[in-house]
Structure 1
Amino acid sequence: MRDMIQQFRRPARHLITSVLALAAGTAAGCSSIDYQKLTTGKLSGSLFVMWVGEGNSSGDGNFLFVPDPRDPLIFHRADRDAPGSAIKPGLMYTDGGSIPKVAQVFKGLSPWGYAPAYMIHDWVFIAHHCIVDGNTEKRFDQVRGVGFKDSAAILGEAIKALIATRQVAPNDVAPGAITAAVGSVVAKNLWDEKGACESLQVSAKDIAAAEAAIPGSTTRAQNLRTFQVPQATVPAVAVKPAKIIARVSFE
């Protein structure tokens, strides 16, 4: 996992892959987030998983989470006054090694594949790091004011939303363990890091590949409502379209 993290310049998935190893151990004892007491959020819209190239021996390749340009994924917290009450995640890398499981999750086959919830949580981390580094882009505004404990609670609430909509099967252990892990000391250390914003951005080449696969998925001109990378970062050259691996939608 660490090799993949370094390979992709500290991509969004770095938190989940670094922390989940602690879920069955000491992390649960370090968290102040009680999954059972969390409210159930609501997911709407759609997202795509795209393959943009070969990875290393640790995974199956380089993958992106891409919001549907016509109906982007949105997460709503039950408490509309809570920090991060409505979150629209933008384009980001995801862990190639977990994509086969993710594809199964989208069909409701695996109780461990909480991929849309991870996307919401990882986008909170990306936005937080960019805000801390002084980024004033509007795409990060809905995450301003979200604290570390809020980020863990948001993940738990998103997992509950997946279970409530039967996207994944109920599980007595996994949701609480994952929520505890992302509320752990290890996760807090990652949250407190500075200077990470630039390294978390999707490359211009991969942005262009996603755009070629689904026009409007990354360009602001056609997708003003979503939090996306600026159009200026997309190179004006012909590129091979990314391969769409899976799509998941919420009513």
Structure 2
Amino acid sequence: MRIDAVSVLTRTTCGLLGLFAAMVAGCSSVDYQKLVTGQLSGSLFVMWVGEGNNSGDGNFLFVPDPRDPLIFHRSDKGSPGSTIQPGLMYTDGGSIPKIAQVFKGLSPWGYAPAYMVHDWVFIAHHCIVDGSTEYRFDQVRGVEFDDSAAILGEAIKALIKARQVAPDDVAPGAITAAVASVVAKNLWDEKGACQSLQVSAKDVAAAEAAIPGSTTKARNLRAFRVPETTVTAVPPSKPAKIVARVTF
């Protein structure tokens, strides 16, 4: 989720410093191995909406499927964030630094559904902290920092259980540790970030053009169909592409 010269996902994942701090120093407060397995359902769409900045790979948008939304359920229904349904948001997947992407399991899109859930938790948290009372964030109210890391780990375990990804001895634990690190905690504690996380009107229009009903409640879900690979964003007239779809 890169916007202008600053990666907004530095607020939602930990980046290079946090990743290696967690892997090397073991500073995480959440143990991936002790987490229970959650459940993922629905479809995932990611759409390219712009070239991004000089150091980025582009701007991407998670677009909810109005007919089959991505939903994560925690095993313990009494846990904070027991049910999470991500909304329209910018994303760059796992925000894994390029230098770390050479390692198995550290692709920025390898655990994409889990990353979308975690991104939404962070975005909702920042907006709640900044005083938002929007109902779309209600599922995340009460979620604390350690809960956010546990949710990511539980979602990764859900992907492995569903055989959407192969088991890995290192990556899931390293990623969960990274988002539970001190660096990530500092980002979690930031205030005033909500406004910069909002999707622009132009990109909202692009999402609606690509997947009708994704930004408004579809009147007739039976009419929903998967869009063509390339659609036209309105306004302005600029190509918007669906770059990934995963269905559970």
Interval containing the TM-score (normalised by the shorter chain): 0.7 to 0.9
Determine if contact 1:121/1:155 at 8 Å carries over to the other structure: yes
1:11 to 8, 12, 34: 8
Question: Are 2:68 and 1:65 equivalent residues in the alignment?
Answer: no
Decide whether aligned partners of structure 1 residues 236 and 54 sit closer, same or farther in structure 2, where only a CA change above 3 A counts: closer
Decide whether aligned partners of structure 1 residues 53 and 5 sit closer, same or farther in structure 2, where only a CA change above 3 A counts: closer
Match of 1:242 in 2: 240
Match of 1:146 in 2: 143
Q: Percent identity?
A: 76
The CA deviation at 1:93 is: 1.1
Partners of 1:10 and 1:200 in 2: CA distance: 10
Determine if contact 2:86/2:117 at 8 Å carries over to the other structure: yes
**Number of residue equivalences:** 227
Output the TM-score relative to the length of structure 2. 0.82
Decide whether aligned partners of structure 1 residues 133 and 222 sit closer, same or farther in structure 2, where only a CA change above 3 A counts: farther
Partners of 2:209 and 2:141 in 1: CA distance: 31
2:196 to 196, 199, 221: 199
For structure 1, which segment, 213-222 or 125-134, has the greater mean C-alpha deviation from structure 2 after superposition? 213-222
Determine if contact 2:2/2:58 at 8 Å carries over to the other structure: no
Match of 2:227 in 1: none
Determine if contact 1:210/1:241 at 8 Å carries over to the other structure: no
Which segments of 5 or more consecutive residues in structure 2 lack a partner in the other structure?
99-103, 222-232
Partners of 1:236 and 1:163 in 2: CA distance: 38
| Matching residue's letter, 2:155 | A
The CA deviation at 1:246 is: 1.4
Decide whether aligned partners of structure 1 residues 57 and 97 sit closer, same or farther in structure 2, where only a CA change above 3 A counts: farther
| Matching residue's letter, 2:112 | A
SS in 2 for 1:15: coil
1:162 to 127, 135, 159: 159
1:177 to 174, 178, 182: 174
SS in 2 for 1:39: coil
SS in 2 for 1:125: helix
Alignment RMSD: 2.7
- The structure that is helix-richer by fraction is 1
| Matching residue's letter, 1:22 | G
SS in 1 for 2:42: strand
The CA deviation at 1:220 is: 3.8
Partners of 2:48 and 2:2 in 1: CA distance: 17
Determine if contact 1:20/1:178 at 8 Å carries over to the other structure: no
Question: Are 2:40 and 1:43 equivalent residues in the alignment?
Answer: yes
SS in 2 for 1:156: helix
The CA deviation at 1:65 is: 1.1
Question: Are 2:89 and 1:92 equivalent residues in the alignment?
Answer: yes
Which segments of 5 or more consecutive residues in structure 1 lack a partner in the other structure?
102-109, 225-234
